[in-house]
Amino acid sequence: MQSARLYGPGEIRVVAEDVPAREAGGALVRVDAVGICGSDLHWFGEGAIGDALLREPLVLGHEISGTLADGPRAGQRVAVDPSIPCGVCDQCRRGHANLCLDVRFAGHGATDGGLREYLRWPGERLVPVPDSFDGDTTAMLEPLGVAVHAIDLAHVRLGSAVAVIGCGPIGLCAVQLARTAGASTVYATDPLPHRLALAESLGAEPLTGPGGWTDPIADHVIETAGTDPALDHAIALARPGSRVVLVGIPTGDSTTFRASGARRKGLSLIMSRRMGEVYPRAIELVASERVDVRSIVSHRFGLDRIEEAFAVAAARRGHKVIVQPNGGEADGR
């Protein structure tokens, strides 16, 4: 089989490897689609994410859809939950498996991810999806789940105003979820016009104008960009007493903001870590057509064009870039 391995910053190679053996444990999954996430771009560009460093060649990719290739459920399309928590630590036992300190995560550390033709994964972390879901839709369940977790942390109330800072794929999911959660107005901001335009088509009120909108207008703020200016903008838009949920991952391992504005407003800054056990909710939101994830996919590439796929994703030329390791409707747009 073919796998795309990251050997160092900007150095990703497609290599021939053996199909994972049954002895490795788990079910064999033929990988249909893998989304390139912002965290993948950190690994690709920096050879690190936060304090986690690339120590050996790694297969990236944690937004994974596939089809079971062996066992009694062979042929079933599944979403691959990228997180394998330990299940026994205090956080796992308290129901916060996303905060497990012993978690294994696809495409992170020493755990290979989905940018390969086949993988083996624990059966209990493979989530069946409806027959109507294609590979792209199923891969998008992971970023949707991250947005679901962020909206949960924001405690969005009926009739409230929500601001989404950053209209990448997670931000675009958050825009739709805020509406579904009962927000009366969802504001959105992004420096890229094509992303702001898609947010508007999905129900957001774009914030534009000289210097950007800075009046406190939001009861809840979701920040997904991972930059200091985005965080300062989030704090400026938040009304006193609001919650600001930080989803974006900064370059390097530090975030700074002007403390006076956050302190005087008495804001709660909430750090969001991946997601909890939200796949069933994400599936229902898509199946019921309350969230449209398919429209967020803008580019598709085969594994043989992996460098181009990462270049397009890093340049933010579109929205979600999908890699199809076993072929499909890859078009390179």
Residues 127, 176: one domain?
no
pLDDT for the residue 291: 98
Residue indicated by tokens 């580019």: 299
Residues 11, 124: one domain?
yes
Give Cα 246 distance to the centre of its chain: 13
Residues 184, 76: one domain?
no
pLDDT for the residue 8: 95
pLDDT for the residue 65: 98
pLDDT for the residue 309: 97
- Specify if 61 maps to a domain: yes
Reading the block at residue 86, the tokens are 């330990």
Tens of pLDDT along 5-41?
999 999 999 999 999 998 878 999 999 999 999 999 9
- Specify if 180 maps to a domain: yes
Tens of pLDDT along 244-274?
999 999 888 889 999 999 999 999 999 999 9
Residues 10, 133: one domain?
yes
Domain that holds residue 249: 144-271
Q: Torsion angle, CA of 98/99/105/108, rounded to 10 degrees?
A: 130
pLDDT for the residue 128: 98
- Specify if 276 maps to a domain: no
- Specify if 280 maps to a domain: no
Per-residue 3-state assignment (H helix, E strand, C coil) for the chain: CEEEEEEECCEEEEEECCCCCHHHCCEEEEEEEEECCHHHHHHHHHCEECCEECCCCEECCCEEEEEECCCCCCCCEEEECCEECCCCCHHHHCCCHHHCCCCEECCECCECCCCECEEEECHHHEEECCCCCCHHHHHCHHHHHHHHHHHHHHCCCCCCEEEEECCCHHHHHHHHHHHHCCCCEEEEECCCHHHHHHHHHCCCEECCCCCCCCCCCEEEEEECCCCHHHHHHHHHHEEEEEEEEECCCCCCCCCCCCHHHHHHHCCEEEECCCCCCCHHHHHHHHHCCCCCCHHHEEEEEEHHHHHHHHHHHHCCCCCEEEEECCCCCCCCC
Length of the chain (residues): 333
Reading the block at residue 201, the tokens are 């088509």
pLDDT for the residue 147: 98
pLDDT for the residue 192: 95
pLDDT for the residue 23: 81
- Specify if 173 maps to a domain: yes
| Total number of domains in the chain | 2
Mean pLDDT per 10-residue section of the chain, whose length is 333 residues: 96 96 90 96 92 94 97 94 95 94 94 97 97 97 98 97 97 98 97 96 85 83 95 96 95 88 96 93 98 97 97 95 86 56
Of 161, 126, 188, 143, whose CA–CA distance to 285 is shortest? 143
Pairwise CA distance, residues 311 & 204, whole Å: 28
Task: Please report, for the domain that includes residue 30, its CATH number.
Answer: 3.90.180.10
Residues 132, 176: one domain?
no
Residues 43, 110: one domain?
yes
Residues 22, 90: one domain?
yes
pLDDT for the residue 331: 59
